[in-house]
Amino acid sequence: MWVATESPGSRSSRTTATPPCAHWVLASSGRPLVINSTDSPAAAELTADPAFAARVAALPFRPGQRVLVIGASGGVGSFAVQIAAAAGAEVTAVCSAAKADAVRSLGADQVIDYRVQDVADLGVAYDVVLDISGRSTLRRLRRLTVPGGVVALIGGDDKNPVFGPFGRSLRALAWAPVAGRRFVMLVAKEHYRDLTELAGLGTAGRLTPAVDRVYPLADAAAAITALAAGEVRGKLVLSVAPDTMNP
């Protein structure tokens, strides 16, 4: 791919509006393109939505804080666990038992299997709560957070015909003044600066790509099937062999 801001043949980190499964894609200069590498920090740019991950990195994590990550085994969740742990926070992660070891290896101090235990039953209030699953109610998240704490929302599963997944975020904005919590909506707006920030975190050793498996492009259907079945820890990578990229 070539864009005006880069020389022909240079490696690029851009995404497309629709994730491609192809040898060649067309992307604007303001978006990253998936690159054919699983090396850090390059793969770090692949393993989570770069805009979301960069915004997670900007959250106010501090040493000694208690941080809760709900939905910790995916691309954004795995970044959140690492970034909070690197800041010196005590991290509790919520995911399935099958993915517990992988999440623990990223720096989580405690891993909760949501299928057998409700994190609310621990009786712990957290300084920062990240709800990446999008399934928790606002009242539940408030109970999990200390007064004045931060609740970071990513997505949601609202069936609102007008606002869709943003319905929960809009309700949080309206409720925040009386809830005694700071609700933060992490909205993705892709820009090359986000990738630059993530690459810097990877180079500094603060992020490790959470890549479960690498599939050749010809096996893209099998990769999507595994992803849909919930078998993936972190993210999958589709590899394009250099000798197949001639236009």
Q: What is the pLDDT of residue 184?
A: 84
The helix/strand/coil state of 111 is: strand
Look up the pTM and report it.
0.70
Interatomic CA distance for residues 122 and 113, integer angstroms: 12
pLDDT for the residue numbered 45: 46
Going from the C-alpha of 130 to that of each of 12, 63, 152, the distances in angstroms are 30, 17, 5
- The residue ranges of every structural domain in the chain are 50-185
Which positions ≥6 away from 218 have C-beta within 8 Å?
A: none
Q: Has domain 50-185 been given CATH number 3.40.50.720?
A: yes
What is the pLDDT, as a whole number, of residue 199? 67
Instruction: State the pLDDT at residue 47.
Output: 46
Give CA–CA dist 177/127, Å, rounded: 18
Q: How many CA atoms lie within 13 A of 9 on its CB side?
A: 0
Q: Please say whether the beta carbons of 238 and 218 come within 8 A.
A: no
Q: What does the pLDDT profile of the chain (247 residues) look like in tens digits?
A: 333 445 555 555 555 545 567 766 665 655 544 443 444 444 444 444 555 666 676 788 999 999 999 999 887 888 889 889 988 999 999 999 988 998 999 899 999 999 999 999 999 999 999 998 778 888 999 999 999 999 988 866 656 666 566 667 777 777 877 788 988 887 666 556 666 666 676 777 767 766 778 888 888 888 888 888 877 766 777 777 765 555 5
